Structure 1
């Protein structure tokens, strides 16, 4: 009978499109995954992949074999997960993807309580500002915002992402405080380049009356991370538009001042992304429930929200042009 390791190496390679990505998920080296697939091909007497220096493509026989074995492999893995979770004790390696700014600034400080509560769970935390492929890259959970849901992945919202205008007290003393969006746009700005599109982000702000305006700051500094937006603004390098998930702590410490409080933008939600399978491993379920509980008990969704200002602060409308 064919070894399960060889079949799993083949399936994960087909899903990920490369031996390297499959190896990350399986905890093996790319060479080991390649050897497993080669053994499978030799034993079957069939070529499952067309290989080149740039690509790895399923042959017709490979595609047919993938369809035949994928469901069976999922059933076996499900049985293993159910057996491992039968006593409902979270245990094992949990691989988590986190954005750098929010991961370091907000989530990391919550995790000592998790590891204390679940000592048998080993956390592998990957901090990077990109959308990971949970299945192909072997992640159990990803924390992020505005991620498209691929098939088989579900999301559980933690908080909304509200963007507000900010500057340091020293910058405002030197340059004055803007009272309209037009004045804000004419000030030196710190802006962010999108990792996905490569373009400088332009945020749409709105007020309680339903008015909307695209705000184009005059960039003097361009960064690629929302935490860097806040730190540059704290250093007096310009006004900025940043999410409250990063900026709240700076505002509370008095290092940044929120400008034009009648206006804010909304750019989606911070959510937990994980497999949509009916029976989650206990370690995954425990992590999801823990973070949701922490955000609720600490009222973090409220802390990161641009709450409606009082009527007397409803200022800052852009003059008609």
Structure 2
């Protein structure tokens, strides 16, 4: 397989413009990638890159070679990955990136039946609120919301998420209940900081009638994790604007109640992301289908429906 290793080092270096970035993708050292490319150049008798201390650029010969081998090489890799193992059963390490609270609450319960059905798969899950680099970091799949849909990545929507205002009954006791989002201004706010921008999120809520209003309670605490916000609300610290996956369990139990019933914001979809390969590895295809089938069930979709929690 050495020629394939040489080609992989060349193609990844060409795509990233760096031996170091290629090494991270391939799980090698930069020195190993550089050596593989040098051996390929020796075998071809052609210099493929112009190297300097600050840049790595393709030569004209390198550009022509990349055009010829890039597509066929991807097909060869997909064919290798698609070869059935263990009598056709999905197997191997399944590297998945998941949002922490969503993963713990809604994905971990799916592992039992998945592992019973596919015992040769070894889940390797990474819990992080930040969007992962699916291709660059070698993930098989990721589950979350708001991930940029980069080239080579497919997203399958699992559910749409509403953002609703919630608080504990104890916190609301004795207060005049708001009727419009602007009425939240004097309330203590459990505010979320955007991981991407570092700024506090401000939501525009829409009513079933079509009216709109900005919900901006007075910041009392600022968190970057929606599950922490839910727990702060249950400790009577104020009003939180939460996506339904984080609000639903506590609305269902009665630990939190809706503020501004009928008002909501669209937070976009939660999706499962995976590489757009013609021959998707069996382990990835099995996981995607398993998760998607679960969230397509009517009773699961109803759990996230904000209208059932007036």
Give TM-score, length-normalised by structure 2: 0.88
Please name the residue that 1:273 is paired with.
Answer: 273
In 1, Cα distance between the equivalents of 2:108 and 2:68?
42
In structure 2, relative to structure 1, the CA distance for the partners of 1:25 and 1:2 (3 Å cut) is closer
Please name the residue that 1:48 is paired with.
Answer: 49
In 2, Cα distance between the equivalents of 1:18 and 1:139?
20
Q: CA deviation at 1:61?
A: 4.2
Question: What are the within-5 Å matches in structure 2 for residues 166-245 of structure 1?
Answer: 166-173=166-173, 175=175, 177-245=177-245
In structure 2, relative to structure 1, the CA distance for the partners of 1:234 and 1:284 (3 Å cut) is same
Q: Is the 8 A contact 2:145 2:268 kept in 1?
A: yes
In 2, Cα distance between the equivalents of 1:232 and 1:63?
56
Whether 1:126 and 2:126 are equivalent positions in the alignment is: yes
Q: Secondary structure of the equivalent of 1:178? A: coil
Please name the residue that 2:246 is paired with.
Answer: 246
In 2, Cα distance between the equivalents of 1:217 and 1:230?
15
Q: Secondary structure of the equivalent of 2:82? A: helix
Q: Is the 8 A contact 1:50 1:59 kept in 2?
A: no
In 1, Cα distance between the equivalents of 2:4 and 2:219?
55
In structure 2, relative to structure 1, the CA distance for the partners of 1:200 and 1:86 (3 Å cut) is same
- Report which stretch shifted further, 56-65 or 205-214: 56-65
In structure 2, relative to structure 1, the CA distance for the partners of 1:2 and 1:96 (3 Å cut) is closer
In 1, Cα distance between the equivalents of 2:59 and 2:211?
55
Q: CA deviation at 1:25?
A: 3.5
Please name the residue that 1:11 is paired with.
Answer: 11
Cα root mean square deviation, aligned:
2.7
Q: CA deviation at 1:283?
A: 0.8
In structure 2, relative to structure 1, the CA distance for the partners of 1:21 and 1:172 (3 Å cut) is farther
Please name the residue that 1:77 is paired with.
Answer: 77
Give TM-score, length-normalised by structure 1: 0.85
In structure 2, relative to structure 1, the CA distance for the partners of 1:51 and 1:273 (3 Å cut) is farther
Q: Is the 8 A contact 1:2 1:40 kept in 2?
A: no
- Report which stretch shifted further, 19-28 or 7-16: 19-28
Whether 1:100 and 2:100 are equivalent positions in the alignment is: yes
Q: Is the 8 A contact 1:179 1:260 kept in 2?
A: yes
C-alpha distance after superposition, 1:126-174 (max 9, x if no partner): 1122222322221111112133322332221111111000112332236
- Report which stretch shifted further, 25-34 or 299-308: 25-34
In 2, Cα distance between the equivalents of 1:156 and 1:250?
27
Q: CA deviation at 1:24?
A: 4.2
Whether 1:90 and 2:90 are equivalent positions in the alignment is: yes
In 1, Cα distance between the equivalents of 2:136 and 2:102?
24
Q: CA deviation at 1:18?
A: 4.3
In structure 2, relative to structure 1, the CA distance for the partners of 1:51 and 1:177 (3 Å cut) is farther
Task: Structure 2: state its 5+ residue gaps.
Answer: none
Q: Is the 8 A contact 2:185 2:216 kept in 1?
A: yes
- Report which stretch shifted further, 263-272 or 177-186: 177-186
In 2, Cα distance between the equivalents of 1:19 and 1:226?
38
Task: Structure 1: state its 5+ residue gaps.
Answer: 314-321
